[in-house]
């Protein structure tokens, strides 16, 4: 079985993108063809020339919410709002948030720790209600820690098709699409399907165990409506935009004697895709370049094979592709 070190690689810090490409679709695109193991360098705006003509492109329309709240040297990252006054949150510094302690975050704003989970997540009671506009001055876009906090980039950290607020991080593969590029793909005969998966701890929590099968995924909420499920059921080829779309599709797909079906509905998924996993709902994947030792890199390795993943990433590093959330893209065919 694989260990966490099998998914490690060295990335020069200079390749971590701090700003997105402008325009969005002018990011670079690495194309990997599984049929012949060929790697090709291109630009994202040319993606229509690579996708099969009969492919349905599946977009995650989740919208990033301003889940990070900073009060000087105190920070709350709201993972899940239980009700108007209670939430599960990551906190910093943790020593301030002991069970039963009331922390004054700012004048008139307090947090009382009700419970501490094994992973450090706190259940906190907040006053006043989270619906109170007094909290708004402290809400920030939850950029990843490797990107400097810059609210001027908040709109760039949303996809152009974002609708349903609830993600704690952007479904970043979709950041490369413009309205014009999506229209171009539709005009060329491709279908666009949408689903929702709210990005949370399941996507970005680090792996802290040596044997990857010992890692426990956090669940994330997803939804797909009847119209989009029906579209997928008539699609001979499916391209998932991002690992979140891929995880949702693989969570809801069912094998049939005729191939596969997708059912409409909503629920939670904690699917953990690693090398050896047989993809059934995804035929091609658009994705960014991921952190070493991450579950996202494991998901990609399940599609390419772990040795090919390392070869692809070595090519990307040598070619100075830009990495992570605001970085360049890869298409796996």
Cis check for the bond before 93: say yes or no (omega within 30 of 0): yes
Q: At what angle do helices 295-304 and 243-252 cross, to 10 degrees?
A: 70
Q: What is the pLDDT of residue 79?
A: 92
Q: At what angle do helices 306-318 and 295-304 cross, to 10 degrees?
A: 110
Which residues neighbour 89 within 8 Å (Cβ) at sequence distance 6 or greater? Answer: 76, 77, 78, 79, 121, 122, 124
**Residue-level pLDDT at 258:** 82
Residue 304 · residue 4 · CB < 8 Å? no
Which token pair is 252? Answer: 């809801």
- Model confidence pLDDT, tens digit, residues 16-72: 999 999 999 999 999 999 999 999 999 999 999 999 999 999 999 999 999 999 999
Kindly calculate the radius of gyration of the chain based on its CA atoms and give it in whole angstroms. 20
CA distances from 153 to 66, 227, 242, 323 (A): 13, 33, 20, 17
Ranges for all domains in the chain classified under CATH 3.40.1780.10? 4-64+151-332
Detail the DSSP E strand segments found in 198-293: 220-224, 237-241, 253-256, 259-262, 265-269, 284-288
Non-local (6+) Cβ contacts of 120 within 8 A are 90, 94
CA torsion sign, 113 to 73 to 75 to 293?
Answer: negative
The fold for domain 68-140 equals: Thrombin, subunit H (2.40.10)
Cα distances (angstroms) measured from residue 278 to each of 83, 106, 128, 199, 310: 39, 50, 48, 23, 20
pLDDT digits (tens, 9 = 90+) for 185-222: 999 999 999 999 999 876 777 888 999 988 988 889 99
Question: CA torsion sign, 42 to 299 to 296 to 234?
Answer: positive
**pLDDT of the residue at 202:** 64
User: What is the phi/psi pair of residue 81, to 5°?
Assistant: -90, 115
118-162 pLDDT, tens digit per residue, is 889 999 999 999 999 999 999 999 999 889 999 999 999 999 999
Interval 236-254: pLDDT, tens: 999 999 999 999 999 999 9
For the chain, the average pLDDT equals: 96
Burial classification of residue 277, based on how many CB atoms lie within 10 Å of its CB (0-12 exposed, 13-18 middle, 19 or more buried)? middle
Strands 191-197 and 55-60: parallel
Reduced DSSP (H G I as helix, E B as strand, rest coil) percent helix, strand, coil of the chain, to 5: 30, 30, 40
- The encoded tokens of residue 67 equal 């889940």
Q: Percentage of residues in the chain with pLDDT exceeding 70?
A: 100
CA separation for the pair 89, 189 (Å, rounded): 44
Interatomic CA distance for residues 281 and 271, integer angstroms = 13
- pLDDT tens for each residue of 259-316: 999 999 999 999 999 999 999 999 999 999 999 999 999 999 999 999 999 999 999 9
pLDDT tens-digit series, residues 150-185:
999 999 999 999 998 999 999 999 999 999 999 999
What average pLDDT does range 84-98 have in this prediction? 95
Residue 257, pLDDT score: 85
Q: Confirm if 40 and 246 have CB atoms less than 8 A apart.
A: no
Residue 324 has pLDDT above 90, yes or no: yes
Q: What is the predicted pLDDT for the residue at 72? A: 94
The percentage of the chain sitting over the pLDDT mark of 90, rounded to a whole number, equals 91
| Torsion 145-303-239-252 (CA) sign | negative
User: Looking at residues 63-87, what average pLDDT do you find?
Assistant: 95
pLDDT tens per residue across span 222-234:
999 999 999 999 9
Average pLDDT on 8-16 reads: 97
pTM of the model: 0.94
pLDDT of residue 303: 98
The pair of three-digit structure tokens given for residue 135, joined into one six-digit string: 């909290």
pLDDT at 200: 83
* Confidence label for 81 from pLDDT (cuts 50, 70 and 90): very high
pLDDT of 218 reads: 85
Q: Place domain 4-64+151-332 in its CATH homologous superfamily.
A: QueA-like (3.40.1780.10)
- Name the segment(s) of the chain with CATH classification 2.40.10.240: 68-140
């Amino acid at each position: 079985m694989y260990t966490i070190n099998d998914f490690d690689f060295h990335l020069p810090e200079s390749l971590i993108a701090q700003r997105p490409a402008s325009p969005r679709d002018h990011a670079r695109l690495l194309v990997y063809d599984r049929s012949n193991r060929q790697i090709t360098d291109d630009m994202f705006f040319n993606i229509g020339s690579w996708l099969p003509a009969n492919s349905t492109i599946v977009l995650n329309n989740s919208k990033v919410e301003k889940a990070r709240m900073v009060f000087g040297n105190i920070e709350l990252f709201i993972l899940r709002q239980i009700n108007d006054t209670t939430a599960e949150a990551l906190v910093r510094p943790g020593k301030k948030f002991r069970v039963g302690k009331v922390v004054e975050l700012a004048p008139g704003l307090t947090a009382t720790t009700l419970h501490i989970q094994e992973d450090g997540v706190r259940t906190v009671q907040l006053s006043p209600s989270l619906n109170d506009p007094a909290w708004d001055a402290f809400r920030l876009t939850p950029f990843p820690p490797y990107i400097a906090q810059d609210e001027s980039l908040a709109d760039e950290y949303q996809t152009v098709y974002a609708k349903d607020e609830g993600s704690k991080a952007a479904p970043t593969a979709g950041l490369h699409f413009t309205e014009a590029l999506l229209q171009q793909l539709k005009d060329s005969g491709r279908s666009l399907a949408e689903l929702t998966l709210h990005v949370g701890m399941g996507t970005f929590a680090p792996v802290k165990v040596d044997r990857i099968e010992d890692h426990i995924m956090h669940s994330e909420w997803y939804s797909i409506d009847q119209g989009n499920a029906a579209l997928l059921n008539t699609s001979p080829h499916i391209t998932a935009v991002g690992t979140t779309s891929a995880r949702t599709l693989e969570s809801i797909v069912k094998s049939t004697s005729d191939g596969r079906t997708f059912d409409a509905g909503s629920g939670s998924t904690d699917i953990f895709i690693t090398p050896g996993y047989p993809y059934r709902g995804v035929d091609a994947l658009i994705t960014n370049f991921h952190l070493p030792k991450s579950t996202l890199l494991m998901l990609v390795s399940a599609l390419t094979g772990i040795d090919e993943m390392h070869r692809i990433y070595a090519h990307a590093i040598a070619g100075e592709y830009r990495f992570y959330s605001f970085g360049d893209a890869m298409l796996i065919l």
